[in-house]
Amino acid sequence: MILQAVIDIAEICARKGVQDVVLSPGSRCAPLTLAFARHPQLRVRTVPDERSAAFIGLGIAQQTGKPVVLVCTSGTAAYNYAPAVAEAFYQNIPLLVLTADRPPEWIDQLDGQTIRQSHIYGGHVKRSLDFPVDTSHADSQWHANRLINEAFNEATAFPEGPVHLNIPLREPFYPEEGEVFAFSSDVKIIEELPSAFGLPAEVWQQLATELKTYKRVLVVAGQGRKDDALHAVIQNFCRATGAVFVADTISNQQADGETINYHDVFLGAKHLQTEEALKPDLLITFHKSLISKNLKLFLRQQQGMAHWHVQPAGMVADTFQKLTRIIRTQPQTFFEQLTQQETGLQVTPAFTQAWHELNATAKSVLARFQENSPFSEFNACYQVLRNLPQNSLLHLANSMSVRYANLIGVAENPGVEVFANRGTSGIDGSTSTAVGSALSTDKLVTLVTGDMAFLYDRNALWHNDLPQNLRIVVLNNHGGGIFRMIEGPRSQPELRPFFETEQRQTAQKTAEDMGLGYLKVTDSVSLQEALTGFFDPSAGPQLLELETSSPENYEIFAEYRKAVQGIKLG
């Protein structure tokens, strides 16, 4: 068959371990669609909106840890993948992005659905490849086969990420009557074995020797998957040395009584940003981004602080402008080795005590404030997070949802794993990512999102695979409430029409149209009543809308900020 090399893409993907494919309908991509849809080992889903499709694929890959294949037609369909591709790039999530294209001679010739697709995602993919347009010669068949292997191997090599393969296709796209449509049995598979990322003994000795020269050591976890083995190793290191372990909500390392979880609360007190007792002389970081702006500002102003970042390979960011050393090994190996080395590190007890004392105080201040404050989206978010089922998944949309959650934390919710699109921090695909995650697990998946993020991504629910384990909580303040929380836009006369983008929509019609159960609450009592059945596993997909006033939310949050300013050490 003339398109055999294209058909065999599905066979190679299956043999390389792909399980999930997300397609968006189109004509130019028909050979790819048929190949993946007819392959018996692949689970194929159709999502009409390419932007949503890509984020759903991202959510699946994020949950399964395996690469997901995206397939779309030519033209702007490919551009609609871009936000999710960028997010996957910064979160190191493996995606194999297959975009159908016109043959090269038709580019810029005013033909339909034709744009410049080669390298369309720029620097936001690990690699961009062009499939041969003619595969009739044996060498071009070898080339096509090799490119698929290379693309897959690159997507899954550490650090993982998206790889783009642009596939120009000429008509005919569909097999003719009686034509054999079958996968080749002799496709070539190129296997790449992973590296161990080890350090020589003399380097471990050097690190151990240097470590004991520090007296105030702060360990900070960035965004990462829940990892009990890693957590145990770091706790052993901290117990042995007195080092302080700080964990954002999205680090999935929070543990009540062990880690510093309320740093975003107490570092909001301006006088504590310069508190001498809190200043580290060594910062050790691992994994990806932080939510807490308060923590980032605190670390950036530290003078004379060394900063070690532990990461096996790939680009390292100097987020705090203090980076002094990159240590190329796995975080678990790093903390295991330095604990076993008996480095002689003993952190000054006053440093450890100061961090844990403020953490306990901040937790109490936050709890008292929530108990005594009127109903608001901050208060509602607190109640929702405190009622999350054990061993469930929590997805957080960007803007205020993820910020509220980082203040509140999930340390008191055993087994809850937290996800958020903090690679690019956009609001555009939060719901789609949560849907993809829910499609890939039996656990309950709860998304907490704002009204703007929800309305922006309603097409996440526009397909035939709505997961029964999905729960969506919409904080509807009828506009971009985050801008009222920020000093700059809040003081401008253009706040309401141009920043908050006031809108009067609710989520009810979307829930009804898409087949979700719908509940609406406007006070604490009705919220508690709604939460009693909201997380029932047998309830099917549910949407809970919490309607609040943006000005009232601001006033209550301003009172919270005042309460935080009263937190003191000692």
Listing DSSP states for 43-98 in one string gives EEEE-SSHHHHHHHHHHHHHHH-S-EEEEE-STHHHHTTHHHHHHHHHHT--EEEE
Cα 57 from chain centre: 12
Task: State residue 303's pLDDT score.
Answer: 96
What is the four-CA torsion angle of 379, 383, 388, 389, rounded to 10 degrees? 180
Give yes or no for a cis peptide into 280 (omega within 30° of 0).
no
CA distance 35 to 182: 9
Cα 451 to Cα 310, 399, 436, 500, 548, distances in angstroms: 37, 11, 20, 11, 11
CA distance 264 to 258: 16
Task: State residue 181's pLDDT score.
Answer: 85
- What's the first-to-final CA gap in the chain, in angstroms? 78
Please report, for the chain, how many H helices and E strands are present, in that order. 21, 17
CA distance 400 to 22: 30
Within 10 Å of residue 401's Cβ, how many Cβ atoms? 26
Domains in the chain (CATH in brackets) are: 4-168 (3.40.50.970), 201-359 (3.40.50.1220), 373-565 (3.40.50.970)
The letter for the amino acid at 49 is D
Quote the strand ranges of 234-281, DSSP E: 244-247
CA atoms within 13 A on the CB side of 405: 35
CB contact at 8 A, 308 and 219? no
CA distance 8 to 369: 61
Nearest to 237 by CA among 331, 144, 171: 331
The H or E element containing residue 130 is strand 127-130
Task: State residue 500's pLDDT score.
Answer: 64
Nearest to 244 by CA among 223, 263, 268: 263
Task: List own/partner pairs for 554-558 with CB under 8 A and 24 or more apart.
Answer: 554/481, 554/484, 554/485, 554/490, 556/373, 556/374, 556/376, 556/378, 556/379, 557/376, 557/378, 557/485
CA distance 197 to 181: 44
- Laid out side by side, the sheet with 282-286 consists of 244-247, 217-221, 282-286, 306-310, 325-327
Alpha helix positions (H), 193-330: 201-211, 228-241, 263-266, 293-300
pTM: 0.94
Task: State residue 216's pLDDT score.
Answer: 98
The H or E element containing residue 128 is strand 127-130
CB contact at 8 A, 422 and 433? no
CB contact at 8 A, 538 and 517? no
Low-confidence ranges of the chain (pLDDT < 50): none
Task: State residue 59's pLDDT score.
Answer: 98
Task: State residue 504's pLDDT score.
Answer: 82
